[in-house]
Amino acid sequence: MAEETIFSKIIRKEIPSDIVYQDELVTAFRDINAQAPTHVLIVPNKIIPTVNDVTEADEAVLGRLFTVAAKIAEEEGIARNGYRLIINCNKDGGQEVYHLHMHILGGRRLGPMLAR
Ligand code: DGP
């Protein structure tokens, strides 16, 4: 069994967070350390620690991350101007929480993809 992180507690609503969407596969909530006017995390309800751990059995939930991202972007009013989706993996990717998640960032011009 993969180890739980703080995200499991958020998904089960055991600790407070600003949840913007939840269904049987994923939960989306605002990042506590927002880097843009819209910064939402979309998280599979089941624990998948990193992208390295995904399997074919996860394809439905991984697809759901994208359909929910598009829905949230529309609701947040950032779909037309655009936004960035990020999934960090492991140390070099800058991953801090080992429960796979997609960041949706938008609401301002984000600039170059990587810090120079
Ligand atoms: P990453 O570096 O890709 O693992 O991003 C983890 C993000 O999770 C980071 O931007 C901050 C956010 N985060 C960490 N702990 C919490 C929390 O308790 N609540 C919320 N809403 N966000 C959190």
Domain boundaries, the chain: 6-106
Full 3-state SS string of the chain = CCCCCHHHHHHCCCCCCCEEEECCCEEEEECCCCCCCEEEEEEECCCCCCHHHCCHHHHHHHHHHHHHHHHHHHHHCCCCCCEEEECCCHHHHCCCCCCCCEEEEECCCCCCCCCC
Pocket test of ligand 1: the residue of 11, 13, 33 to mutate, having most ligand atoms within 8 Å of its CB, is 33
**What pLDDT does 84 receive?**
98
pLDDT, one tens digit per residue, over 42-99 is: 999 999 999 999 999 999 999 999 999 999 999 999 999 999 999 999 999 999 999 9
Pocket test of ligand 1: the residue of 31, 42, 84, 105 to mutate, having most ligand atoms within 8 Å of its CB, is 31
Architecture of domain 6-106: 2-Layer Sandwich (3.30)
Check if 34 has its Cβ closer than 6 Å to any atom of ligand 1: no
Q: What is the pTM of this model?
A: 0.97
